[in-house]
């Protein structure tokens, strides 16, 4: 079969490495891919947001199946365009992708169907928003409605900060139309858990849970990023918590989307906070997390492509979804300065030595090949170095050992991925 993967980050590299294990795929392509993906698949130079060009290319090149990685093409309706051309795909339709594409849509859905989440107020009028934040309890969380590259969430300790955030979004247009409507939300506390789940809209098979590390610097300091490292499974996510989440969050979310006429098919990502009042939804994503996928997929024992086909066919109940019993740790190597200004074009060395270590995979994110065919940096998050081990401390030690082999100028990483998880009593 001929399969196209859409995207060019570490998540897509992790997906491609799993798809390479499938015996039925004989041609694997990726649009646009990156310097590491180029060694595992044929790269096609089309931007992920050029959804018509991607759908046309898939048709012209007789692709049998398309896996869509990032949120933008999903929210732009790529899976709908593919369906019009008769090509099955992994990912939700545009109407179901709104669960990530519009925070207001997600909040209204949760409110209507009693799914536990932070209480909130929704505003499309600046004056009303400013009036509300003067009386709202502090701290409060101000969120842009639309996609904002993970930067549309501001945790405000006081009313001045909240006013600044509201004006930034609604008056100064910092996120364009994504910030013209906002959510002002109650501040929640507790450990965070990411749960990625395969779903065909009716059945759901959660994957191994994980813990992202969103801040740029050690000790959860510095700015929010796309994610600097992940461990899986997340030790806070006990089987008891999993059972509560299934009953109060996962199944009700799928039922709500079906009732609204927007059934969800693909990977549904639940960003959860385990509060004293039980698990609550912080956010939904309509896709695999990045870098969660780089830690979770290496633990998948079953055939990913077969699961994806079951998801698309609506037969997930018949799929074999098993995970290895061990643990994994992914450490992101970023370019100095990320998530603000950073340089690109630095030569990367030591990748082969790192990957030669047992249990280690190096997933490329912001990389490309130079004229000599050497990998060079081409983005903020450059690599995801994952190690799988029998227990979490082994996975963490091995991932950090692998990072010691890799060098590029200005390399930036966190040194404490998984430490919080290890300190659990």
Which lies closer to ligand GLY via its Cβ, residue 226 or residue 235?
226
For CA atoms 234, 238, 243, 247, the dihedral sign is negative
Answer yes or no: are the C-beta atoms of 67 and 306 closer than 8 Å: no
According to CB under 6 A, which one of 72, 185, 290, 303 is a site residue for ligand GLY? 290
For residue 100, give both structure tokens: 């990530």
Give the range of 42-50, 127-135, 156-164, 283-291 binding ligand GLY by CB under 6 A. 283-291
- From the list ligand GLY, ligand AMP, none, partner contacted by residue 188 (C-beta under 5 to 8 A by kind): ligand AMP
Residue 69 sits at the vertex; the CA angle it makes with 219 and 154, to the nearest 5 degrees, is 40
Q: Tell me the three state secondary structure of residue 129.
A: helix
Q: Which of residues 14-73 bind ligand AMP (CB under 6 A)?
A: none
Give the range of 180-188, 227-235, 403-411, 415-423 binding ligand AMP by CB under 6 A. 180-188
Q: How many other C-beta atoms lie within 10 A of the C-beta of residue 229?
A: 28
- From the list ligand AMP, ligand GLY, none, partner contacted by residue 118 (C-beta under 5 to 8 A by kind): ligand AMP
Q: Which of residues 225-254 bind ligand GLY (CB under 6 A)?
A: 226-227
8 binds ligand GLY (CB under 6 A): no
271 binds ligand AMP (CB under 6 A): yes
CA dist 80 → 25, 66, 91, 97, 316 (Å): 23, 12, 10, 11, 20
Residues facing residue 229 across a β-bridge: 331
According to CB under 6 A, which one of 71, 185, 203, 292 is a site residue for ligand AMP? 185
- Nearest alpha carbon to residue 327 among 211, 407, 204: 211
150 binds ligand AMP (CB under 6 A): yes
289 binds ligand GLY (CB under 6 A): yes
For residue 38, give both structure tokens: 């180029």
- From the list ligand GLY, ligand AMP, none, partner contacted by residue 263 (C-beta under 5 to 8 A by kind): none
- From the list ligand AMP, ligand GLY, none, partner contacted by residue 72 (C-beta under 5 to 8 A by kind): none
Q: Which helix (H) or strand (E) holds 30?
A: strand 27-32
End-to-end CA separation in angstroms for the chain: 48
Answer yes or no: are the C-beta atoms of 143 and 156 closer than 8 Å: no
- From the list ligand GLY, ligand AMP, none, partner contacted by residue 141 (C-beta under 5 to 8 A by kind): ligand AMP
Q: Which of residues 78-137 bind ligand AMP (CB under 6 A)?
A: 118
Which lies closer to ligand AMP via its Cβ, residue 20 or residue 138?
138
Tell me how far apart the alpha carbons of residues 100 and 286 are, in angstroms, rounded to a whole number: 6
């Amino acid at each position: 079969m001929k399969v196209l993967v859409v995207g060019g980050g570490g998540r897509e590299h992790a997906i491609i490495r799993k798809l390479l294990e499938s015996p039925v795929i004989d041609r694997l392509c990726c649009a646009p891919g990156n310097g590491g993906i180029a060694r595992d698949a044929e790269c096609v130079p089309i931007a992920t947001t050029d959804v018509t060009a991607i759908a046309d290319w898939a048709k012209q090149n007789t692709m049998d199946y398309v896996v869509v990685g990032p949120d933008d093409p999903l929210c732009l309706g790529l899976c709908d365009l593919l369906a019009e051309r008769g090509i099955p795909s992994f990912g939700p339709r545009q109407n179901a992708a709104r669960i990530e594409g519009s925070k207001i849509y997600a909040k209204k859905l949760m409110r209507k169907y009693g799914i536990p989440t932070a209480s909130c107020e929704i505003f499309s009028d600046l004056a009303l928003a400013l009036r509300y934040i003067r009386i709202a309890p502090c701290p409060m969380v101000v969120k842009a409605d639309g996609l904002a590259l993970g930067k549309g969430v501001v945790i405000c300790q006081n009313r001045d900060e909240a006013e600044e955030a509201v004006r930034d979004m609604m008056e100064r247009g910092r996120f364009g139309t994504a910030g013209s409507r906002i959510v002002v939300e109650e501040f929640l506390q507790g450990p965070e858990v990411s749960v990625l789940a395969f779903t065909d809209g009716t059945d759901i098979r959660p994957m191994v849970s994980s813990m992202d590390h969103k801040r740029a610097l050690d000790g959860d300091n510095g700015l929010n990023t796309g994610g600097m490292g992940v461990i899986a499974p997340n030790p806070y996510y006990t089987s008891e918590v999993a059972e509560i989440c299934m009953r109060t969050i996962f199944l009700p979310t799928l039922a709500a989307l079906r009732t609204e006429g927007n059934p969800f098919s693909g990977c549904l990502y639940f960003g959860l906070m385990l509060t004293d009042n039980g698990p609550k939804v912080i956010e939904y994503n309509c896709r695999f997390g990045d870098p969660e996928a780089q830690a979770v997929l290496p633990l998948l024992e079953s055939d990913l492509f077969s699961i994806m086909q079951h998801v698309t066919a609506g037969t997930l109940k018949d799929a074999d979804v098993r995970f290895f019993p061990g643990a994994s740790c992914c450490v992101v190597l970023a370019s100095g300065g990320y998530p603000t200004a950073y340089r690109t074009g630095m030569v990367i060395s030591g990748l082969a030595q790192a990957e030669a270590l047992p249990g280690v995979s190096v997933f490329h994110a912001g990389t490309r090949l130079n004229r000599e065919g050497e990998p060079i940096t081409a983005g903020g998050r450059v690599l995801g170095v994952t190690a799988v081990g029998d227990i979490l401390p082994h996975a963490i030690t091995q991932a950090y050992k692998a990072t010691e082999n890799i060098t590029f100028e200005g390399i930036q990483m966190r040194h404490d991925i998984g430490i919080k998880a290890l300190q659990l009593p």
